[in-house]
Chain A
Amino acid sequence: NAGVTQTPKFRILKIGQSMTLQCTQDMNHNYMYWYRQDPGMGLKLIYYSVGAGITDKGEVPNGYNVSRSTTEDFPLRLELAAPSQTSVYFCASRNLAGTATYEQYFGPGTRLTVT
């Protein structure tokens, strides 16, 4: 299993440009998440999905959109990039385990700079 994969690893955008961060998992996990990590701060949840066709906002969703057409893929879309979106973005997934000790797996991250 490759686990959670993200592309691209790095990207520089100009203000106002748009792009899609790709996330794929091959563990057949129902739950998928997008986080951003800013220097000196904890990860913040942007959007999450509990299954194909279902998405919901997290703590910091403004400026982002997501879709979940398949179990495997959970792309994150930035429509009008702003400098405030400069960050490292992590995708994560977990299964539908009913216990409180489910395991969450993270991708390697995408470092985005908006100038």
Chain B
Amino acid sequence: KNQVEQSPQSLIILEGKNCTLQCNYTVSPFSNLRWYKQDTGRGPVSLTIMTFSENTKSNGRYTATLDADTKQSSLHITASQLSDSASYICVVSAGNDMRFGAGTRLTVKP
């Protein structure tokens, strides 16, 4: 069954600290993996997209990694800011079939 599991469910960190969010998947055949940021009350916004051949992709303070062998991805946030408070969603595609994780709710406190 095509599944996407994210951990932790929620995370609280202090402003300026780094954090890493995890995504494990069983989706097959793999096409690409995306990380989205979803602010409260808004639609998801794309952060990174990685294909099978890419093992790291950065977007400013966000760095995503992909291990296609172990079917794991992580999203590392550096020097967190209050505006990073949001849900982060991992999405894995098999062709046109996109499977969404439940997300990690990140709260950055001053």
Dominant SS at the A interface?
loop
B residues apposed to A, CB below 8 Å: 4, 9, 31-32, 41-46, 49, 51, 89, 93, 98-103
Which residues in B have their C-beta under 8 angstroms from that of A4?
Answer: 43
Given A100-B31, A100-B93, A108 contacting B42 (CB threshold 8 A):
yes
Given A41-B102, A42-B99, A101 contacting B32 (CB threshold 8 A):
yes
Report the number of A-B residue pairs with Cβ-Cβ less than 8 Å.
41
A109 to B100: give the CA distance in the assembly, Å.
16
Q: What is the total number of residues of chain A having a CB less than 8 Å from a CB of chain B?
A: 18
A residues apposed to B, CB below 8 Å: 4, 35, 40-45, 90, 92, 100-101, 103-104, 106-109
Residue in B31, B49, B101 with the greatest tally of chain A CB atoms within 10 Å: B49
Given A40-B102, A100-B32, A104-B46, A109 contacting B41 (CB threshold 8 A):
yes
